[in-house]
Amino acid sequence: MATRKPSVVFFNRVYPPMRGATGRVLRDLARAFADDGWAVTVVTTGPKARREYDGPIRLFRVRASVRAKRITSYLPSWIKLLWTGLNMPRHDLIVTMTDPPMLVVAGRMMAALKGSRHIHWCQDLYPDVLPSLGFKMGEPRMEFFRRISRKAMKKCDKVITVGRCMAKQLTHGGLEPRKVAVIPNWPDYELLSAEGYSRLRHKNVRKVGSVKGARPFDKLLTDGAERKFRVLYSGNLGRAHPVDTVIEAAQILLKDHPEIEFVFVGDGPNYEWLAQERSKKGLDNVRLLPFQPASRLRELMESGDLHLISMKHESAGMLVPCKLYSALAVERPCILVGPEDSETARVIIDFKAGAIVPQGDARRLAQEIRRFRMNAEDWFRAHEGAAQAGRIFVPEESFSAWIKRARDVVNQNRPDKKAA
């Protein structure tokens, strides 16, 4: 008799085709579990309640609002995800993510009632990160939610974080180090399915020291104009990712370095503000574009000679921007405008893949951009560091680590059973 498939159910508010980094990595990991022989279910949200399949993955969508303007806006999603989970058959493993906030508490309730194992996948550290996202909450209320969140995490079989700084926050907060694991996120598959990393080094990358830039994304970015040295910010312009320092740096560089352009691709709460600032300050060296189709993602990312990542200083240890892994996948130097004690900064420093600039220091940011523009040796050194990191932060490594820990959790304290 064949051995029964182990079963896993993931809970997260976002799943494709909805946009969001957590939805994308969830889809990738769910498929990896299915390929490994698991029965996989995802409970998520959508404009309509429905049941469907994404290949081998069974999807339960509950109807819920996509946008959350206040912290209380997450509550309906939280309740519906919990209710759906409670009314489902038992799964061997429950995996909760961090959207909506405090989903780990719902996961503990489900795991206790169903007798399932529970892994919490900590993409963002709630409620600690809420002030960085612009949500106001008094300290007594913050401490209450922090206490029940940590209590729920302590009861999990495993807590998987996406950064060392986040793991450090949790262990300092009382979680047993043996219960915490670090598994980094990964870049989009569209960035890895082109001709491969080597073509950059051998065919195109040597152009970067010139004004022409690396790989021009002509039709979308230049409109037939002269090719530029392109500083690229691609992705969500969220509340925890301020770009005012970047705009000030663009203003500093506009007069003496018109060949340097800043390209923002995406959307988010800060996008409208960015458009207004560009118009008000007459920043002809700033271009704004909407999200681009996945089929053009690698071409877009390669078009940047230098990639920007932005984080609020107070969000260190509470989130890790996925933009880092996308930049490394196309071997591009990065500049983090944000905290030195973050996971993103540590990766850039460890691999010598770029530079770190504090928020608010626009002159230093302009200086670092100018250095990479004018000094080909510095650019190539950072490029080599990014290339080395890009060979390490690949999906297969993270998937393997994830599935090993999941199987260990499901099988712990249970005798091995051979197929009859």
Q: Which residue matches tokens 């969220």?
A: 238
The answer on 221 and 238 residing in a single domain is yes
- What confidence tens digit (pLDDT) does each residue in 291-326 have? 887 778 888 899 999 999 999 999 888 989 989 999
- What confidence tens digit (pLDDT) does each residue in 23-52 have? 999 999 999 999 999 999 999 999 999 999
Range of the domain at 364: 189-390
In a domain, 417, yes or no: no
In a domain, 419, yes or no: no
Is the pLDDT at 255 greater than 50, yes or no?
Answer: yes
- What confidence tens digit (pLDDT) does each residue in 181-202 have? 999 999 988 887 544 433 333 3
The model's confidence at residue 413, banded by pLDDT at 50, 70 and 90, is: low
Angle, helices 362-374/376-390, rounded to nearest 10 degrees: 100
344 vs 7: CA distance, rounded Å: 33
For residue 285, what is the domain's CATH number? 3.40.50.2000
Rounded to a whole number of angstroms, the distance between the first and last alpha carbons of the chain is 5
| Contact call for residues 29 and 46 (beta carbons, < 8 A) | no
- Please state the rounded mean pLDDT for residues 89-104: 96
In a domain, 416, yes or no: no
Residue 176 DSSP one-character state: -
Q: Which residue matches tokens 């523009």?
A: 373
| Residue 384: partners with Cβ closer than 8 Å, 6 or more residues away | 352
Q: Which residue matches tokens 């494709």?
A: 16
| Contact call for residues 289 and 304 (beta carbons, < 8 A) | no
The answer on 366 and 289 residing in a single domain is yes
The answer on 403 and 385 residing in a single domain is no
In a domain, 418, yes or no: no
Strands 39-46 and 50-54 come out as: unpaired
355 vs 373: CA distance, rounded Å: 13
The answer on 378 and 343 residing in a single domain is yes
SS3 content of the chain, % helix, strand, coil (to 5): 45, 15, 40
Is the pLDDT at 419 greater than 50, yes or no?
Answer: no
Which secondary structure element, helix H or strand E, spans residue 8, and what is its range?
strand 7-11
The answer on 407 and 365 residing in a single domain is no
The answer on 128 and 202 residing in a single domain is no
Q: φ and ψ at 406, to 5 degrees? A: -65, -45
The answer on 180 and 198 residing in a single domain is no
Report the predicted TM-score, pTM, of the whole model to 2 decimal places.
0.87
| Mean of per-residue pLDDT scores for the chain | 87
| Residue 115: partners with Cβ closer than 8 Å, 6 or more residues away | 90
**Total domain count for the chain?**
2
Which secondary structure element, helix H or strand E, spans residue 28, and what is its range?
helix 21-35
Question: Rounded to whole angstroms, what are the CA distances from 238 to 269, 279, 280, 320, 380?
Answer: 6, 20, 21, 13, 30
The answer on 337 and 243 residing in a single domain is yes
The answer on 338 and 201 residing in a single domain is yes
Which residues pair with residue 402 across a beta bridge? none
The answer on 349 and 243 residing in a single domain is yes
